[in-house]
Structure 1
Amino acid sequence: KALIRMSWHPQNLYNLAQRVRAPDLSRHTVYQKRWAAKKELRAYHVPHITEKQMLNRHTPLRLPNRQMTAAERERMPPLQSAAFAELERRVDVVVFRSHFASSLTHARRLVQMGQVTVNGHVTRFPAQRLEDGDMLGVNPASVPTLAKTVAAPNAARDFVPVPFMAPWMFTPDYLEVDYPTCTTVLLRSPLPQSGRMEIPSPLPPTFHQYAYQWY
């Protein structure tokens, strides 16, 4: 089946709808499980970078941890589910997560065209790493969900829904998005929470665990 991407494209939504359940890896060897999980997650999270870049820039040596009770440990997804947490600090990923771009490719293009700022300075590097508290801004004229024309230069732009965007219209807990000003503040890295995984993903935590073991 087709791989799932960060995109509002109707074909991608169709691919997502076809995934009634996660791929069955029960008959796979350990190596096959890790490779299959890595393939699925790389296609979703970072399809534009090489394996070497993934290892050098975005693979954490140590995973975040915190003191937990025994009951929390039972409900907690595996810590390896945070293996892709570092990718959530990339400028292009934050632009997409904030709904300022219709796909990860679109987000990269906005950055390269100088439509994105970090702490008030234009950046042209999609892979730039944001620190806690950094503010990212996008030119409102480039946001696909905002009207292209306004009555006055400083007037607010009307929200115009884009077809097939609904499944992606959620905001992760680690981002604070201000839509009137088209800005986003990165609050912190995503962490495994009791009973759930903060990193938005179409695949279960076990796939993240296998992918981390691959790397």
Structure 2
Amino acid sequence: MRDANVFAISRAMPRMSWSPRNLYNLWQRSYGPRAQDARFTRTSKTLFQQRWTAKALVRAYHGDYINEKIFKRWYLPQTLPDVRPRIAASAEQAALEAFAGREARRRRDEQEKGMAPVGSLMLAEVERRIDVFLFRCCFAHSVYEARRLVVHGYVMLNGKKHSNANTRLAPGDMITVDPKAIRFLQKPKDAAVEVEAEAESAADVVAEEAAAETAPAEPTPEQTSAAAAAEAEAEAASAPAEGEGEASSTPAPTTPKPKSTKPTKSTPRQPWEPRTPPSSTAAAPLTPFHPPAYSAPWLFVPAFAEVSFATCSAVYVRHPTARPGYSEIPTPYDADGEIVRLAWEWYVKVRPRNRSRSQWEREPENRQ
């Protein structure tokens, strides 16, 4: 992190982080007092100032730790898509398109579906970075922490230890994170005493239930009478009989069998009734997932990532795409709004045109 005061409330620049201060800055830019700074419908700023403000907001969220010169040279696509609506070059071409019905069809499609937010695709190369992808998969609280995990060797790329945070992933690459390095899988320090108390109380409940199951049950009156009859029969059998022949010919008295103690079948559970788990599973600990409460706005997984929290791994399925009315690149701003369009206009003017062979040798790792 280059700036220690990256979450400054005075600047209110949203970042890739779950920090509560960052959430407050996002509220300021979306609905709070700073929301008017990025609405250029009625403003006294010049076009240069509008583009500069939009570029600063976009770059603050998308790769603020990447140097601006490196971003313009390596993290912008070869050809930036045109976000402006298509306009006929001449009157003859406009008349020809009107005669063919293309203009009416285009306007109808734009009214029904909207234009494809292709301006957001200029940030697709940033989303391919391994540290940004790690944050998108919700394995880290911020992109800065994700970068630290990669640099310190807690991340594996395709089964091998990888420590270069500038790597851009290719479709099909799989990353694996050490579970000991993921913070929300560990027990929170402030709630450690409370969790231990809950565990002790659960253990006491389990012990009481086990003792109740192993303790002998009190005999019923029928069982006591049956036991007394059995004792009397045993005494009569052991006593010497007067006539052995008579005793052998007469059948022995039979005693009634005690009633069966098998549990009766209960009524079947209705579909709307909740399922009651057994005592062994009720006391089992839950999955150790402790995300902070203020991380709810950031807990989402983009469509180009396939995440498995059971194995702490994720697969980069494909490159982000955009279609009419939808963009797969997560951003706090409208993917087809003024901020993204003005930032696109800024980089169209200032992006470098020529790349020499020596410059290509300094390109960050790109797995295509």
Under a length normalisation based on structure 1, what TM-score does the superposition of the two structures give?
Answer: 0.87
* Higher normalized strand content (fraction of residues): 1
Amino acid of the structure 1 residue aligned with 2:168 = R
1:24 aligns to 2:39 (yes or no): yes
User: Is 1:202 matched up with 2:321?
Assistant: no
Q: Distance in 2 between matches of 1:29 and 1:72?
A: 33
Work out whether 1:2 is the aligned partner of 2:132.
no
Residue identity opposite 2:331 in structure 1 = S
2:146 counterpart residue number: 107
Deviation at 1:194, TM superposition (A): 2.3
* Partner of residue 290, structure 2: 160
Residue among 34, 41, 48 paired with 2:51: 34
> 1:119 aligns to what?
158
Larger mean CA deviation between 174-183 and 26-35 belongs to 26-35
Structure 2 CA distance, aligned partners of 1:72 and 1:141?
Answer: 50
Equivalent position SS for 1:158 = coil
| 1:55-111 CA-partner distances (Å, limit 9, x unpaired) | 12210012579xxx8455551343122110111100110010011110111111101
Amino acid in structure 1 at the alignment position of 2:327: M
Moved more, 49-58 or 140-149: 140-149
Please tell me the residue identity of whatever aligns with 1:163. Answer: A
State the match for 1:53 in structure 2: 70
Which is higher, the Rg of structure 1 or of structure 2?
2
Name the counterpart of 2:321.
Answer: 191
What SS does structure 1 have at the residue aligned with 2:314? strand
SS of the counterpart of 1:95? helix
8 Å contact from structure 1 (residues 82, 208) kept in 2: no
Asked if the contact 1:92–1:111 (Cα under 8 Å) also holds between the matched residues in 2, the reply is: yes
Q: Which runs of 4+ in 1 moved over 3 A?
A: 69-74
Q: Matches of 1:50 and 1:199 in 2, distance apart? A: 21
SS at match of 2:167: coil
**Contact persistence 2:170–2:316 (CA under 8 A):** yes
* Residue identity matched to 1:51: E
Moved more, 24-33 or 107-116: 24-33
Deviation of 1:49 (Å): 1.2
Hey, what does 1:214 align to over in structure 2? 346
Give the Cα–Cα distance (whole angstroms) in 2 for the partners of residues 189 and 63 of structure 1.
Answer: 16
What code does the residue aligned with 1:45 have?
H
Aligned residues: 206
Pick aligned residue for 1:143 from 182, 188, 209 = 182
Query: Do structure 1's residue 98 and structure 2's residue 113 form an aligned pair?
Result: no
In structure 2, the partner of 1:174 is 304
Unpaired segments ≥5 residues, structure 1: 150-155
The answer (yes or no) to whether the contact 1:76–1:196 under 8 Å persists in 2 is no
Deviation at 1:196, TM superposition (A): 2.2
Alpha-carbon distance in structure 1 between the residues aligned to 2:58 and 2:148: 22
Match of 1:86 in 2: 125
Partners of 1:177 and 1:128 lie apart in 2 by 19
Distance 1:43 1:72 in 2: 33
Shift in Å, 1:157:
5.9
CA deviation profile, 1:161-189 (whole Å, cap 9, x unmatched): 22311110011011111111111111111
Q: Distance in 2 between matches of 1:29 and 1:189?
A: 36
Larger helix fraction of residues: 2
Q: C-alpha separation between the residues in 1 aligned to 2:333 and 2:325?
A: 15
CA distance in 1, matches of 2:187, 2:173: 27
Aligned to 1:13: 23
Match of 1:153 in 2: none
Distance 2:120 2:76 in 1: 12
Amino acid corresponding to residue 138 of structure 1 in structure 2: V
Q: What amino acid does structure 2 have at the position aligned with 1:169?
A: L
How does the TM-score come out when normalised to structure 2? 0.52
